[in-house]
Chains A and B, each alone.
Chain A
Amino acid sequence: MSDQVLLTTTVGSFGKPDYLQKARNANARGKLGEAELTELERKATEEWIRRQERLDIDILVDGEMYRGDMVAYFAERLEGFRIGGLVRSYGNRYYHKPIIASPVRRPKPMTVDWFRFTQSLTDRPVKGMLTGPYTLLDWSYNEAYRTRREAALALAEVVRQEAEDLQAAGARYIQIDEPAIHARPEEIDIAIEAMGVVTQNLTAKTISHICYGDFAAIYPKVLELPVDQLDLAMANYGYRWLDLFDRDRFTKELAIGIVDVHSHDTESVATAAEGIRKGLRYVSKERLLPHPDCGLKTRTVEESEEKCRVVVEATKVVRAELARQATPAKTAR
């Protein structure tokens, strides 16, 4: 894989199979035990690993079969958080918005066992997946800390502990998502400072996924976020963020979203391939990673798989083009 260009990956979550969705509901109603649920989560995780291998994705994820919401999952495992009632995010989608009720502390690792299990299933690299401190803060109610900076730095400390444990467990890629980073552009220094706490001791490749907001408001400042790779939704935005790179050069690796995740239909391979070609105008093939715009947890298993298939097929089309360009033609042009 090391010689491969345009490594494919995904943002983190996949659609959950029906049997798991039913089991989660039953568990929530107290009608299915934790051990039984965990067994089904492991089964679904293994199925997703096999699917990703079959689809020929290069850098895998565990698919988050055991997570509901990307903030609540951590909030439920950190001391200091309380899980709040349901709040709507859009349309008919609701989530339990957590409350930071007292100073936060990590009693024990939260994702490391899942990482070990998933990595044991495959020879391909699996990413460690975390939610960044600024997003944990911004998507929670803060009752405990006097300022948002204080809260973000306290959260950064627990995320740092988790990230370092993932690295010790063998993670070569650690993704620390900050989809809320542009919520308040005037606070980007806080997000950067907090991410610095998280990644200061990491040698693994670090990635941060950012989506659904005014990316222009934080560019080029966001290039100071101390991670190796930014992972951006692009298809949903008609690739408009690429125009920003004309003005200020993009200096990191770019994981580029080439299929929209919020529609049931998927773009054609040709359309997705065009997205990769657009990205190649700004980032070299060694530093560009095609993927779907965002996590696929709102899609069915079949839709998730179809979107991944289009990403991989489109990547293969462009790889073949690049290979043809690299092989000198016998007749001079």
Chain B
Amino acid sequence: MKTTVIGAYPKISDEHQDLRRALHRHDRGELDSGGLSGVLDESTRWAIGELDWVGVDVVNDGQVRWDDMLAPFARAWEGCDRGPLERFYDNNTYFRQPVITGPITTDGRTLVRDFEFARGVARGQLKAAVCGPLTFATLAEDRHYHSLEDRTLAVADAIAAEIRGLGAAGATLVDVEEPALVAHPEHFAIARAAIERLAATGVPLALQTYFFPADPLLDALAAFPVAQIGIDVRSRETHALDKLNALRQTVVLGIVDARNTRVETEGELVRLIDAALKRIPAEYLWLAPTTGLEYLPHTVAVEKLRALVTAAHAAGGVKA
């Protein structure tokens, strides 16, 4: 059993507010883009350092440079503008809605520089992450493609190009963050067609679902061509834990609630892990927060990670 994280890490803490100050200074024209980039790198180093220090086995770069999950792509891609602020699912967190104005194209190098920087920092295994095609397609305003399917598959081709770029840069695992799949289970066939295009890159993928229960999709998810599937079994009413044996992939089990401050006890977490181990073997089980830890204040995020790592060890996990 390995421990891992999903999504964004808090960008600041009570003590570490360099990035917040730098962005204010950049806004006021007192710090140029190069200066800001340096602070972003330092903040990335800080985030990865914390994940390593707490003892998370497989880390990401904390997505420090991501304003929101869609932003890096909406900024970089041809055919995409950035529109109004919108609420991100049921969070008091907002994103800029991408506006698709023409055919989406990319050089596939949107995330390469950040991945290479993070690889130079991380001590342990590093994974990359991309926005899920269905998530991007359902949250964007579309002025070009004429159906959800066309839009999702066009986004998938662009995401596949990004994954190829990451693979060429050495990524061996890429999270595909796809909350839309569980938010809109009725679109699972489109999502699957999109994921197949990502899988064709040959880079191992982890399909991360969160915010909503995965119950209606567990059987369907087994057929997705990915190495791992992330399932939240903690933050919402769900019976997914009882049906994990429906899956054939490694399960990334979301067991610490990244959207509530109450820190889980070791007993609670070990019970969840034990229940999962009754359905799937330990080598097919990874443990994670339910979603990105940026929904929590930094101090609580760290406590949650500690609880995760401690419970993993208590339940018999071995460090990578």
Contact = CB atoms under 8 A, between A and B. Distances in A.
A is bound by B: yes
Interface of A: 84-92, 94, 97, 99, 138-139, 141-143, 180, 182-184, 212-214, 236-237, 260, 262
Interface centre among A91, A182, A262 (most CB of B within 10 A): A91
B9 to A, nearest CB: 11
Contacts of A237: 84
Given A92-B27, A141-B261, A97 B86 contact: no
Interface string B13-29: 11000001001100100
Interface string B296-312: 11111000000000000
A236 B84 contact: yes
B117 interface: no
B238 interface: no
A183 B87 contact: yes
Nearest to B27: A92
B92 A91 contact: no
Most A C-beta atoms less than 10 A away, residue of B13, B14, B92, B259: B92
Given A94-B12, A212-B94, A86 B297 contact: yes
16 contacts: A84-B300, A85-B299, A88-B11, A88-B93, A90-B93, A92-B27, A94-B12, A94-B20, A99-B261, A138-B92, A139-B92, A141-B259, A143-B261, A183-B87, A212-B94, A236-B84
Given A97-B297, A139-B92, A184-B90, A90 B85 contact: yes
A142 B87 contact: no
A213 B93 contact: no
A292 to B, nearest CB: 15
A84 B261 contact: yes
A85 B297 contact: yes
B39 to A, nearest CB: 12
Given A85-B300, A90-B68, A262 B85 contact: yes
B90 A90 contact: no
A89 B93 contact: yes
Given A141-B262, A237-B84, A262-B85, A89 B297 contact: no
Nearest to B21: A92
Given A84-B300, A85-B14, A141-B262, A90 B295 contact: no
B85 A92 contact: no
| B298, B299, B300 — most chain A CB neighbours (10 Å) | B300
Nearest to B14: A85
Interface string B253-264: 000000111100
A142 B90 CA distance: 15
A2 B297 CA distance: 48
B294 interface: yes
A184 to B, nearest CB: 5
B150 interface: no
Contacts of B42: none
Nearest to A144: B262
Given A84-B297, A183-B87, A262-B84, A90 B67 contact: yes
B14 A87 contact: no
Contacts of A212: 85-87, 94
B145 interface: no
Nearest to A138: B92
A104 to B, nearest CB: 16
Nearest to B19: A92
B182 to A, nearest CB: 14
B296 A87 contact: yes
B95 interface: yes
Contact of B92 (A92, A97, A142, A143): A97
A85 B90 contact: no
Contacts of A86: 12, 14, 297-298
Contacts of A143: 260-262
A182 B20 CA distance: 29
Contacts of B298: 85-86
Q: Closest 10 interchain pairs by CB?
A: A85-B297, A90-B94, A92-B23, A141-B261, A183-B90, A143-B262, A213-B87, A139-B92, A184-B90, A236-B84
Contacts of B295: 87
B235 to A, nearest CB: 12
Nearest to A233: B84
A262 B83 CA distance: 11
Interface string B86-109: 110011111100000000000000
B297 A87 contact: yes
A85 B296 CA distance: 8
B11 A213 contact: no
A123 B5 CA distance: 57
